[in-house]
């Protein structure tokens, strides 16, 4: 193989990496652009309110139902284990800590990415494919300020609220199983939970996690939509990428944040 062939081989091997780096660079510039246009956008808060409705309020059902079932399963599984050690009264602590620290933010974020993130990408992608964004630009209206920033902030504001709702519904599910079905003492269930769950260490850290996840998912969703090739296939691929990338980023971020928050790194 001559020199030229080798160069081509390395170029081909490195192409996926350089493509991703270039895309990451665009995403960073895009994020800066969103932040730059955010003050104008947030001043017209009704635009963001509309997006909170679409991304947040319309996700309430799936979040609430999933939270309830996850809490119920957690209580059933946890009871099985705890009862072996004679500490079934700690079920409330197990359910609440698992949900508030971990499952609420993470599973909430995964559901949010599938329900709202994909919808945001598809809407922006289709607006681009049907030249609505170009038309907006030609009407001297910046699409980043008018369309993208409100969707981004709508997602960022909705995510922690949805995660909190997921945890609350999960704890209620745990109560239904633990107290109503398995007959644990309700006073002990709630009081142990109250004394063991720390507001700052557990609840607040869970909220901080969900804020990070909200920023990540919303950014991925708006960027993938804006960057989508203006074709049917382009929009469908971008929508899939939003869900897959969001899930991976949420899990990776969760590991890093957990390492910092709960291991004292």
Partner 1 sequence: MAIPLVRFEGVRFAYGENDILRDVTLSVAAGQVVAIMGGSGSGKTTLLRLIGGQLKANAGRVEVDGEDIGALSESALYERRKKLGMLFQFGALFTDLSVFDNVAFPLRERTQLPESMIRDLVLMKLQAVGLRGAAQLMPAELSGGMARRVALARAIALDPRVMLYDEPFTGLDPISLTTIGSLIRELNDALGAASIVVTHDVAESLAIVDYVYFVAEGGVIAEGTPEAVRESSHPFVRQFIAGQKDGPLPFHKPAGAYAADLGLEVGRE
Chain residues that interact with partner 1, rule: CB under 8 A:
130-132, 134-135, 137-142, 146
Cβ distance to partner 1 smaller for residue 53 or 260: 53
**How far apart are CB 133 and partner 1 at their closest, in Å?**
9
**How far apart are CB 237 and partner 1 at their closest, in Å?**
22
**How far apart are CB 132 and partner 1 at their closest, in Å?**
5
**How far apart are CB 204 and partner 1 at their closest, in Å?**
37
Q: What would the 3-class secondary structure string for the chain be?
A: CCHHHHHHHHHHHHHHHHHHHHHHHHHHHHHHHHHHHHHHHHHCHHHHHHHHHHHHHHHHHHHHHHHHHHHHHHHHHHHHHHHHCCCHHHHHHHHHHHHHHHHHHHHHHHHHHHHHHHHHHHHHHHHHHCCHHHHHHHCCCCHHHHHHHHHHHHHHHHHHHHHHHHHHHHHHHHHHHHHHHCCCCHHHHHHHHHHHCCHHHHHHHHHHHHHHHHHHHHHHHHHHHHHCCCCHHHHHHHHHHHHHHHHHHHHHHHHHHHHHHHCCC
**How far apart are CB 188 and partner 1 at their closest, in Å?**
52
**How far apart are CB 123 and partner 1 at their closest, in Å?**
9
Cβ distance to partner 1 smaller for residue 63 or 149: 149
Cβ distance to partner 1 smaller for residue 134 or 251: 134
Cβ distance to partner 1 smaller for residue 27 or 129: 129
State the maximum Cα–Cα separation within the chain, in Å, rounded to a whole number: 79
Interatomic CA distance for residues 20 and 231, integer angstroms: 21
Cβ distance to partner 1 smaller for residue 41 or 192: 41
Interatomic CA distance for residues 123 and 48, integer angstroms: 15
**How far apart are CB 161 and partner 1 at their closest, in Å?**
24
Contact 166, 103 (CB under 8 A): yes
Which residue shows structure tokens 């107290």? 179
Cβ distance to partner 1 smaller for residue 82 or 133: 133
Cβ distance to partner 1 smaller for residue 51 or 202: 51
């Amino acid at each position: 193989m001559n020199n030229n062939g080798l160069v081509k081989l390395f170029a081909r091997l490195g192409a996926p990496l350089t493509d991703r780096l270039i895309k990451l660079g665009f995403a960073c510039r895009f994020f800066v652009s969103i932040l730059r246009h955010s003050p104008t956008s947030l001043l017209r808060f009704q635009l963001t309110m509309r997006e909170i409705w679409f991304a947040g309020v319309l996700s309430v059902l799936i979040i609430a139902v999933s939270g309830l079932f996850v809490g119920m399963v957690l209580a059933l599984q946890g009871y099985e284990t705890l009862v072996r050690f004679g500490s079934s009264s700690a079920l409330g602590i197990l359910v609440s800590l698992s949900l508030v620290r971990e499952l609420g933010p993470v599973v909430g974020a995964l559901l949010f990415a599938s329900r709202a993130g994909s919808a945001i990408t598809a809407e922006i992608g289709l607006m681009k494919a049907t030249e609505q964004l170009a038309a907006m630009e030609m009407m001297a209206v910046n699409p980043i300020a008018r369309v993208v920033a409100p969707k981004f902030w709508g997602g960022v504001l909705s995510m922690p609220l949805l995660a909190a709702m997921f945890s609350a519904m999960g704890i209620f599910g745990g109560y239904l199983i633990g107290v109503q079905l398995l007959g644990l003492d309700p006073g002990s269930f709630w009081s142990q939970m109250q004394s063991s769950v720390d507001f700052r260490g557990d609840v607040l850290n869970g909220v901080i996690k969900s804020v990070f996840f909200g920023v990540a998912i919303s950014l991925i969703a708006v960027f993938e939509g804006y960057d989508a090739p203006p074709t049917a296939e382009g929009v469908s691929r971008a929508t899939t990428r939003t869900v897959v990338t969001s899930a991976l980023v949420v899990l990776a971020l969760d590991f890093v944040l957990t390492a910092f928050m709960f291991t004292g790194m």
